[in-house]
């Protein structure tokens, strides 16, 4: 698709400097963009590329002062990075709106309810009594179990598996290979050393505007629901165990794991490879550093922790600073001990 500078400016509330009829058909980074492509400048360290780029259109901040003439048509906005992200989202939305209908070899059960303008890709499988909302997209090889509901505008990428009874909200994005609603890790130890499986009869509820990364797994509850509140962002390769609750607009980075029945508050940020034990609570706004091991509840809102076991971030930095000085401290102690011995010998 081709867009003019004037059309783009109207989408992002920008002002055009240069040719309003300049056209672009694709996006690229400012340092490599060519004719017919759109780029943006938000980071000052890339400013030199503004004067050498071959991009037809460049989105820049309103505050950007030009040091020399540019060859590109410019669109000024308050925040170039946010405007570019919004433009990409709009472009993706336009492209996905073109995908509708049932592709060859897709299966939809007779009792399933399918909304308007839905896309179901080849070899996707929609089970009995499932409900698919308007404008939802199910890409090839995705599986939707019995009585699953998927909200309006949701995007289910290839090879996603959604087990029976789970509920997916509006505008949710689930990336390739994710598994929603597999059994929680529930086993009762027996006297003979074996384990008896505890049936997992709950479900998973994912509220509106949540994004789930590729190959992540969210277990169904033993009883009740595992819940991901609206606006939460879950990275790739994240595991959320049974009966976990994730608060609104919380972000969890890749390879993190949250054990069963833990409740995480709103606007929490969890770094990559963090591990959180079960049956604890994490207060709103908490920040958990990458590779931290959280073994007890964080009760103070907006607290920052690091380490394993995790503890106060500022205290941890002080401890790290002291640990780097330990060799020098040891040397000084040895020198003091030597002096003490000399003084003691002199007194004798």
Please state the rounded mean pLDDT for residues 84-110: 87
Q: CA 297 to CA 283: how far, in whole Å?
A: 8
What are the pLDDT digits (tens) for 32-91?
999 999 999 999 999 999 999 999 999 999 999 999 999 999 999 999 999 999 998 888
Please classify residue 196 by burial: count the beta carbons closer than 10 Å to its beta carbon, then call 0-12 exposed, 13-18 middle and 19+ buried: exposed
Domain made up of 3-97: CATH architecture: 3-Layer(aba) Sandwich (3.40)
pLDDT over threshold 90, residue 301: yes
Confidence (pLDDT) at 208: 98
pLDDT band at 16 (very low <50, low <70, confident <90, very high): very high
Q: Which helix (H) or strand (E) holds 203?
A: strand 203-206
CATH 2.160.10.10 fits 101-315, yes or no: yes
pLDDT tens-digit profile of 240-259? 999 999 999 999 999 999 99
| pLDDT above 90 (res 217) | yes
Residues 203-216, mean pLDDT to the nearest whole number: 98
Greatest Cα pair distance in the chain: 102
* Nearest residue to 319 (alpha-carbon basis) of 270, 309, 301, 295: 309
Please check the confidence at residue 347 and state whether its pLDDT lies above 80.
no
Percent of the chain with pLDDT over 90: 83
Question: From residue 291, how far is each of 241, 276, 296, 306 by CA, in Å?
Answer: 18, 10, 15, 8
Query: Is 80 exceeded by the pLDDT of residue 346?
Result: no
**pLDDT surpassing 80 at residue 221:** yes
Q: What's the mean per-residue pLDDT of the chain?
A: 94
Q: Is the pLDDT of residue 110 over 90?
A: yes
pTM above 0.85, yes or no: no
With the CA atoms of 250, 253, 256 and 261 taken in that order, what torsion angle do they form, in degrees rounded to the nearest 10?
A: 10
| Residues carrying an active site annotation | 242
Q: Per-residue confidence at 339, pLDDT binned at 50, 70, 90?
A: confident
296 vs 83: CA distance, rounded Å: 40
Report pLDDT digits (tens) over 307-333: 887 768 777 777 777 778 888 888 888
pLDDT bracket for residue 348 (50, 70, 90): low
Residue with tokens 């394993």: 308
pLDDT tens string 268-291:
999 999 999 999 999 999 999 999
pLDDT band at 98 (very low <50, low <70, confident <90, very high): confident
Structure confidence at residue 345 (pLDDT): 77
Q: Does residue 5 register a pLDDT over 90?
A: yes
Query: Rounded to the nearest 10 degrees, what angle do helices 5-12 and 80-97 cross at?
Result: 110
């Amino acid at each position: 698709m081709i867009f003019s500078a004037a059309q783009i400016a109207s989408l992002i509330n920008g002002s055009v400097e240069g040719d309003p009829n300049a056209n672009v058909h694709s996006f690229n980074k400012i340092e490599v963009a060519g004719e017919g492509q759109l780029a943006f400048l938000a980071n000052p360290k890339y400013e030199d590329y503004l004067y050498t780029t071959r991009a037809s259109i460049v989105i820049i901040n309103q505050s950007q002062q030009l040091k020399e003439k540019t060859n590109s048509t410019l669109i000024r906005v308050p925040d170039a990075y946010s405007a570019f992200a919004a433009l990409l989202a709009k472009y993706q939305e336009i492209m996905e709106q073109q995908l509708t209908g049932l592709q060859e070899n897709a299966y939809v059960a007779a009792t399933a309810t399918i909304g308007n303008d839905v896309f179901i890709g080849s070899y996707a499988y929609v089970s009995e009594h499932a409900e698919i909302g308007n404008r939802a997209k199910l890409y090839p090889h995705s599986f939707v179990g019995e009585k699953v509901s998927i909200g309006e505008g949701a995007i289910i990428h290839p090879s996603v598996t959604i087990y029976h009874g789970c509920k997916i909200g509006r505008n949710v994005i689930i990336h390739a290979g994710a598994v929603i609603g597999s059994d929680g890790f529930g086993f009762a130890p027996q006297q003979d050393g074996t384990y008896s499986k505890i049936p997992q009869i709950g479900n998973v509820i994912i509220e509106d505007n949540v994004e789930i990364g590729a190959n992540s797994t969210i277990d169904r509850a033993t009883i009740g629901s595992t819940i991901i509140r609206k606006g939460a962002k879950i990275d790739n390769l994240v595991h959320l165990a049974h009966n976990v609750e994730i608060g609104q607009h919380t972000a969890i980075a890749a390879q993190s794991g949250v054990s069963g029945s833990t409740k995480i508050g709103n606007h929490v940020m969890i770094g990559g490879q963090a591990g959180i034990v079960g049956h604890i609570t994490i207060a709103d706004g908490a920040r958990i550093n990458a590779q931290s091991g959280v073994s007890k509840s964080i009760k103070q809102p907006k607290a920052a922790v690091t380490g394993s076991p995790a503890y106060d971030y500022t205290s941890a930095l002080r401890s790290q600073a002291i640990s780097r000085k330990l060799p020098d401290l040891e040397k000084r102690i040895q020198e003091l001990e030597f002096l003490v011995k000399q003084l003691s010998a002199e007194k004798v």
